[in-house]
Each structure stands twice: as C-alpha cells, then as structure tokens.
Amino acid sequence: MFFRLTAFVVIGLLALRAASAEPVTHTTFENGLEVVVIEDRRAPVVVHMVWYKVGAADEPPLQSGIAHFLEHLMFKGTDTMESGEFSRVVEANGGRDNAFTSWDYTGYFQRVASDRLELMMQMEADRMANLSFTEDDWLPERAVILEERGQVLESRVGGQFNESMMAALYKSHPYGIPIIGWRHEMETLTGQNAMDFYDQHYGPNNAILVIAGDVDTGDALEMAQQIYGPVLPNPAIAPVSRTMEPPHLAERRLRFEDARVGTPYVNRMYLAPVRRAGDQSQAAALQMLAALLGGSSTTSVLERTLNFEQGIALQAWAGYNGMARDYGTFSLGIAPVEGVTLKDAEAALDAAVADFLEEGVDQAQFDRVRHQIRASEIYALDDMQGRARQYGVGLSVGLGVDDIDGWVDALDAVTREDVIAAGQMLLDRRNSVTGYLTQPTATSTSEVTQ
Amino acid sequence: MTRLLALTLGLFLALAAPLRAEVSITPVTSDSGLQAWLVEERSIPFVALELIFAGGATLDSDATAGATSLMTALLSEGAGDMNAQEYAARSEELAARIGFDAGRDTVSVSVRFLTEDADDVIDHVRAALTDPRFDADAVERVRGQMLSKLRRDALDPNTLASRAFAQAAYGGHPYGRGSDGAVETVAALDVDALLAAHQGAFARDRVFIGAAGDIDADELARLIDRLFEGIPQQGAPIPERAEFSAPAGLEVIPFDGPQSVIAFGHDGIARDDPDFLTAYVVNEVFGGGRFGTRLMESLRVQRGLTYGVGSFLASGLLGESYQGRMSTDNVNAAAAIDLLREEWAGIAESGITEEDLSRIQTYLTGAYPLRFDGNAAIASTMASMQYQGFDIDYVNIRNDLIDALTLDQVNAMAARLYDADALHFVVVGQPEGLE
C-alpha cells in the first residue's frame, strides 16, 4: 500500500481486503440510473464511467454512424460549458478521458486522482441532459469521423475485410452495419440528427454509472445521489425494436481481394448464442470451446494440429464473443504457410475441428485451461479499468451483476461433454460466413495492368 | 427532453491542487550483486517482474538483422528438456504470464506469477534465458511467422513511413533499419546467429530489474539470484552513437490507399540532456498524443483534417530525434503539411504562453500518480526508470521539477528544439498537390 497519501495507509489495506471478499455494490436510483461501485484502494486513482444502453444497432435508417458521431459531439459543450471545456477540465486535473461506441452501448470515462471524482460527476451529469453545440462544432467533427473511417478502416485491409464479413453474417440485424457508419451515409449526417438521437436515448433512465477505485462505497453512492439524483428521467426513452435474423438457410462465402494483402487468410464467423442473464451455461461452454481450440498459440488444438503437426498454418485461431445483447459470434481461422491455398487451408481447419469433436477433450489440456481461468481472475484484480469495463459492458447488454460475478464459476462448471455438445450445436455452416482475404488473382491483376 | 437545472461549473479549474504520490520503492541488492527496485503490495497474491536488457536489435550486424528479434520470439519455443509445446504447457500449468520482447534498444522479459508458484516459475523462465533449444522445426515455424509479418509490413503505409523516416535519419547505422530485419536477412539466419544473439543479449552487465506485488526484499533478492544462475557477466558490445542526418524536405512514397500517412521530424534532444524534461513539457503542449495539444486543436478540432496527429521525443539509447505522425485524406496532404510547418515555426518563434505552461504543469503533475495503478504497470515503470538512468527518489521529486520550470526556460527550449526549416517529411500515399 504505497501509492497513496500516507495517512490512509492502514485504512486502505483493510478496505481492499474487505472489498475483495465482498460483492460489488449495485443499486438503481429513483431516476432510473444504475450505479455500480467497485472499491480498490491500492492507488489514489478512480475510474468514473457512464454507459448509455444505446449504440450503433439502434440507429435510424440512413443515419449509420450517428451513435458514434454523437459520442464525438458529447465533448463539444453544454448549456454552461464551452466546446472542448470538458476535456480541458479533465486535463487540467491531470486526468485522462475518452469514449467509445459499440453496437449495444456508448461509454464515456475519465481516469483521475480520486479527489477529483466529484468534479467528474458534475460534468458528466451535466452533459447527460444539457448537451449543446453549434454548426462550427459539428461540421469539422464530421470531417474528423470521416478521417477516422479512412484511418482505422479503409486504410487497413483487415478492417475492410472484417466489415464485409459482418455485413454478410447478418441478413437483417443491424450488427451487420459498421459502428462507424457507411461512408455515404456519414457524409450526410447533421448536428440535428445527433441531437435527435441524444434526445431520444440519453438520460439517467438509460444509463449505468460505474465507479471503480479509491473510494468508500457509501461516500461514493452519497456523492452520486447528490449529483446524478436530480437529473430528471427522459420520458422519450423507450426500447428500440431491432430487426431480428430470420432462419439462415444457406451458408455465405466471400472473397476479398486487395493488393495490400501481405498475408492471406481464411476467417469463418458463426452466429452464436450470447451470455444470457440467469443462464450462462451455453455461453460458458462456447468460451471453453474457443479456449481449447485457439486459446494458446502453442498448445491449443488448432495450433497444435495445423501448425505443429501438419505445418500448414502460420497461425490458426478460434474466438468467441458472447457479450452482446442479441447475437454472439464464434470465429475460426487460419493463415496458411506459403504454397498452401486458402481452399486447402480451410479444408484442414474443418478437418481439425471435426476430429476434435469426434475425439473429445484432452483431460490435461482441459485442466490447464481451467487453472488459467482461475489465475486470470487474480490477475484481473490488478486492472481497475478492466474490472469497471466488465460491469459496464455486462449491464449494458442485459446481464446482471450476479451474472458478471458468476462468470468464472459458470466456466468452472463446464464439463468436457458440454464443450463437445456446444461445438456440435454451433458448427452449422448455414449460420456462417466464410471469407478469403487474398491478393488479387493473376488474371485480374493482368487485366488491371494492361 | 427534460433538462437538469444549470450547474455552476466555473470553479472547476481552481480545484486542481497537485496530488502527492508517496511512492515507496525499496532498493534491493542480491547476494551476487544484482540490483532491483521493488514496490511491495500485498493485497493481491501475485508478483509482476520486469527485466530490461539494454542492447536490443542494435546488436545485430547488417547481415544478421532480425536475429535478436527471432531469437527472442523463440525463447518460449522450447528450453532445457522441454520442446515448444511442453514449454507452453508448463507455463499454462503454472498459470504464469511470461512475455519476451525485442525492441530497437532493449530486450525485455515480463513475468507475472502467483505467489505460491514463485520458485517453479523462476526456474521455468531461467530455462528460457540460459538453455534455449532453437529446435530446427521451431526455428522454421517462427521464421515463417516473422517473414509473414515482414511481408505484411511491406504493404502497410504506417510501417512504410516509419521505415523510410528511419532510413533517411540514420542511414547505415542499426537505427536506420527495422528491428525485425528484412526478408533476405531473416531468411538467411542460422542457429549460430541465434545463439550469438542470445549470448549477446542476456548478461548481468546490462540488466535493469523492477518488481511489484506480493513479495518482500529478501525473497526478491533470492529469486533474482536464482533466475540469473548461468547468465554471463558480459554481453555483446553496444554500437556507437547514431547521428541524425535526414535532410530538410519531402519524400513521397506512392501507395494506393485513401489516405496519406505522413511521418515528419528533425533532430531531437538526448535523454541525458539536463534539459530533457523541459523539452518533454514543451512537446506535451505542442503534440503529446492526446486532446488539447496545439497540433490536435489546429488540425483536428478546427479543421477536421485528421483523426489524430501527435509528436514525440524519440530519444533512444544511441541517438535522438523529434518526430510526429498523422494520416489525412490524400486531397488534404499538402494543406496538412503547410499547417504542420506553420505550427512548427510558430512555437519556435513565439513559444508557449504562461497559461499553457500552468495548464500543462497541472496536467502532468496530476497525471503522474495515475501511472502507478497496478503491479504490472509499476514493475515495468521500476525497470524502465533504472534503464533511463533516474535516481530512486525521482518519483518523489519529479513533480517539483516540473513545477519549478519557468516560462523563459520553456520558451528557450522551444526555440532550441523546433526548426521548421529542418523538417523532413515522408508521405506514403497518393497525395495531391505535392511534387
């Protein structure tokens, strides 16, 4: 206990010991604001986050990217704060601030010395209801998000490939639309669109406050009640109906060719169940399946088979994301060594998965993965911001604190048979899209140069 | 939409009293004479350990460029009587997180382990550091991954810009080439080159050790002696200094993409220069990689020319430069470069204001404690501070040093550091309006 004001040394120590044993505090204020407090008194630092349960999947037609555009404009000012003042004040207090948008949520956070928490709360509560900006603010900011799309997506061939994969995976659901938006729609977004989206979705009754770090839970809740409590609920807030997926009757395949591809690879994405409040068992089995197939660059099934035994993969992977409101994804992929075609690589990948499902889970590997999960729980305690994020994402997508706290136990309860069953259930190709990322073929290249 | 009654926000800036971080670092000397800095933190039952070995990719010869990087990547691919899979399985059994990383100036080892497994993990890491196998199949597999990365880099505009800038700045010095070497050199590396790189890199005469977590000084001293059994006293000689020699001007590398990536910069300031901290403060005002800097305000906030622009002091072990990066739509590249030159000239001539200085002092002194918020972050900071030559009490005086800077000192540094006429630009893309 060394990074703190000397006077608090002993108190801090005791508080952390207690906090580790006690559940995270979760409550809901009268105005609908959910509040989570995570005590961690090792350093005099606090993470203050506000999550809105609205994201890119809730955008109106023709306005893709509006949730993210609004996220940028949230830094422009309020009725009483100048444009840019929010970040200037955070900076003047030695803090860091940023924000992020997903399909299901939009989050704003500051990391500051813990004696600045009240100030952060005041400013965040202010822009929860009093956002205000002008054309001089939003017009250059629209150019910024277009540059952002250019930099993080269009200049990266992997990013463009991934965007195409998602668009092909979802036939109806808005997860198929990129969070940053389609360029042709982004170019038409206005400040009024953003303000309308704000008026429709922002307010304490659609938000989660997460405070993690060097605070006393009781004090933090009292402070939050004083500052956020008076913000009136927004009556316009109503659940957005999202288009759901019809049954998928045909697998989809795409081939993305670009001269900038240095390493070709195959990726396959399946629609998968998400973590559900009160029942995470299926999601836990899928998470274990991903860990066994691709969780280690050396010992997992795909690397062992395709890289070490067959020598045809530079790299092979598997991943599961179940932290979403409507649909999760399960991915499998392989980057083959030179001289192996993507088609052959894909066939080998499929064969490796099929063999795994037939032969069952190796007990020693299963034990190692479980041991690592337990240890990762301990390592995760070291990362205050990561913990805050876990709760923010979880609550945003409809999980409860019990579900988030119980995730490691849910993983622990998975049996080897559950893993195989999850794999067999999942791997229906009709729920998938398979993509090849590759250099242009010889014929199309010569056509271009002629 | 129902709105909250207006809050009084005017007082905010007045509240910013700098926070004092009382950091308690214990210097540790082992029986065999190794030094380490420890921050004991008992609340979570694990330890983070960080080793930094000076040298890095600069120890490679031109012919063996990439050897240190490939060697480092192979450390987790088998050691002692364990092949690659057995080594990884053992790491997983121990639930240890072990990372080996090679950079231009250093090779680093990061380890996190549960307190109860300390001895076993240390033995496991020592096997990699003293008895790596470099099995032929592992070498070919990892070489293939590295070549694949090099081919990917060759088609990545950001890497192309950085490579071209380094080449222009340092020519034939090891600083002029990429840490991962080139396709031809990596393809040609043999086991002897890997063994030589290994012997050159890991030595007691160049290591800096930081630790944080559930461990005391005696126990740490014992563990590091255990870890260093068999590690030689001396490593390979570290090369001569690199002189910055990029000419003023502009270099365009045609690349088919929607944006131009622009690398820019000129000569910099040495890390051991007595005024380095002053230069650091000036750069934080000018382009320090966050909102609120002059470059972000001018190019992003006012004009929407870029998603992000920043500048940094690239002061290494052997040489220094002052650089920046940005990406912008091809049509805006010329305008962005004009603005960069303008901002550059402006700060050299007029410096910063009293208000800028006071704001940045408050920010930097307030932000400092935020760096020490977890065992892993602390261990790495402890090792890095020693590597950079700081005294053990620096943590506790650093904020005072920043607060003591005067506007005259800072503006003298701005005039010294910035030279718009010396700027070298590398533009990767299809920029319009440039020659």
Distances (CA, A) of A285 to A37, A362, A414: 29, 15, 6
Distances (CA, A) of A316 to A137, A308, A337, B146: 45, 11, 11, 15
When pLDDT is averaged across residues A378-382 and rounded to a whole number, the result is 93
* Residues of chain A contacting residue B366, judged by C-beta atoms under 8 Å apart: 92-95, 112-113, 116
> For residue B12, is pLDDT > 50?
no
Q: Are strands A207-213 and A34-39 parallel, antiparallel or unpaired?
A: parallel
pLDDT of res. B22: 59
Helices vs strands, H then E, count in chain A: 18, 11
User: Nearest Cα to B200, choosing from B232, B236, B230, B234?
Assistant: B236
Which among B16, B145, B256 is the nearest to A92, CB-wise? B16
Which among B21, B89, B95 is the nearest to A299, CB-wise? B89
Instruction: With beta carbons less than 8 A apart as the criterion, state whether B59 and B68 touch.
Output: yes
Q: Indicate which of A161, A198, A299 best probes the interface with B, i.e. most B CBs within 10 Å of its own CB.
A: A299
pLDDT of res. A42: 87
Taking one residue from A and the other from B, the number of pairs with CB-CB distance under 8 angstroms is 267
User: Helix, strand or coil for residue A211?
Assistant: strand
Q: How far is A247 from chain B (nearest CA, A)?
A: 37
When pLDDT is averaged across residues B210-230 and rounded to a whole number, the result is 98
When pLDDT is averaged across residues B372-396 and rounded to a whole number, the result is 94
Active site residues of A: 71
Q: In chain B, what are the helix, strand and coil shares in percent, each to the nearest 5?
A: 45, 20, 35
pLDDT of res. B21: 52
- DSSP string spanning A150-175? IIIIIT-HHHHHHHHHHHHH-SSSGG
What size, in residues, is chain A? Answer: 450
When pLDDT is averaged across residues A386-393 and rounded to a whole number, the result is 96
Q: Which residues pair with B426 in a beta bridge?
A: B251, B263
Phi-psi region of A213 (alpha: psi -120 to 50; beta: other; left: phi over 0): left
pLDDT band per the 50, 70, 90 thresholds, residue B371? confident
Q: Please tell me the least confidently modeled range out of B21-35, B209-223, B260-274.
A: B21-35
> For residue A12, is pLDDT > 50?
no
Per-residue pLDDT tens for A27-39?
999 999 999 999 9
* Residues of chain A contacting residue B6, judged by C-beta atoms under 8 Å apart: 79-80, 130
Q: What does the DSSP 8-state code read for residue A195?
A: H
What size, in residues, is chain B? Answer: 435
> For residue A363, is pLDDT > 60?
yes
* Residues of chain B contacting residue A111, judged by C-beta atoms under 8 Å apart: 370
pLDDT of res. A18: 34
Per-residue pLDDT tens for A224-251?
999 999 999 999 999 888 999 999 999 9
Percent of chain A scored above 90 by pLDDT? 87
pLDDT of res. A445: 43
> For residue B7, is pLDDT > 90?
no
pLDDT of res. A441: 83
Instruction: With beta carbons less than 8 A apart as the criterion, state whether A7 and B20 touch.
Output: no
Which among A122, A307, A379 is the nearest to B112, CB-wise? A379
pLDDT of res. A334: 98
pLDDT of res. A298: 85
What type of residue sits at position A144?
V
CA–CA separation, B414 vs B401, rounded Å? 18
Q: Are strands A96-101 and A106-113 parallel, antiparallel or unpaired?
A: antiparallel
Which among B3, B24, B364 is the nearest to A130, CB-wise? B3
CA–CA separation, A123 vs A115, rounded Å? 15
> For residue B3, is pLDDT > 60?
no
Per-residue pLDDT tens for B57-88?
999 999 999 999 999 999 999 999 999 999 99
pLDDT of res. A15: 31
Burial level of B404, CB count in 10 A (0-12/13-18/19+)? exposed
Give this prediction's pTM: 0.91
pLDDT of res. A52: 98
CB contact under 8 A, A155 and B13: no
pLDDT band per the 50, 70, 90 thresholds, residue A61? very high
CB contact under 8 A, B92 and A260: no
pLDDT band per the 50, 70, 90 thresholds, residue A426? confident
Q: What does the DSSP 8-state code read for residue B4?
A: P
Of residues B289 and A274, which shows the higher confidence score?
Answer: A274
CA–CA separation, A326 vs A446, rounded Å? 44
When pLDDT is averaged across residues B306-326 and rounded to a whole number, the result is 96
> For residue A70, is pLDDT > 50?
yes
CA–CA separation, B61 vs B149, rounded Å? 21
Q: How far is A98 from chain B (nearest CA, A)?
A: 10
pLDDT of res. B279: 98
Could you tell me the two tokens for B61? 């010869």
> For residue A259, is pLDDT > 60?
yes
CA–CA separation, B280 vs B271, rounded Å? 10
Q: Which residues pair with B185 in a beta bridge?
A: none
When pLDDT is averaged across residues A105-124 and rounded to a whole number, the result is 95
CB contact under 8 A, A89 and B12: yes
> For residue B30, is pLDDT > 80?
yes
pLDDT of res. B23: 72
CB contact under 8 A, A6 and B22: yes
Could you tell me the two tokens for A106? 């939009």
Instruction: With beta carbons less than 8 A apart as the criterion, state whether B70 and B189 touch.
Output: yes
> For residue B190, is pLDDT > 60?
yes
When pLDDT is averaged across residues A76-101 and rounded to a whole number, the result is 92
CB contact under 8 A, B304 and A139: yes
* Residues of chain A contacting residue B258, judged by C-beta atoms under 8 Å apart: 150, 154-155
Of residues A203 and B4, which shows the higher confidence score?
Answer: A203
Which are the contacts of A222, defined by CB distance < 8 A and separation ≥ 6? Answer: none
Which among A141, A148, A382 is the nearest to B44, CB-wise? A382
Over chain B, what is the mean pLDDT? 93
Q: How far is B318 from chain A (nearest CA, A)?
A: 32
Q: Indicate which of B47, B92, B120, B183 best probes the interface with A, i.e. most A CBs within 10 Å of its own CB.
A: B92
CB contact under 8 A, B2 and A374: no
Instruction: With beta carbons less than 8 A apart as the criterion, state whether B251 and B262 touch.
Output: no
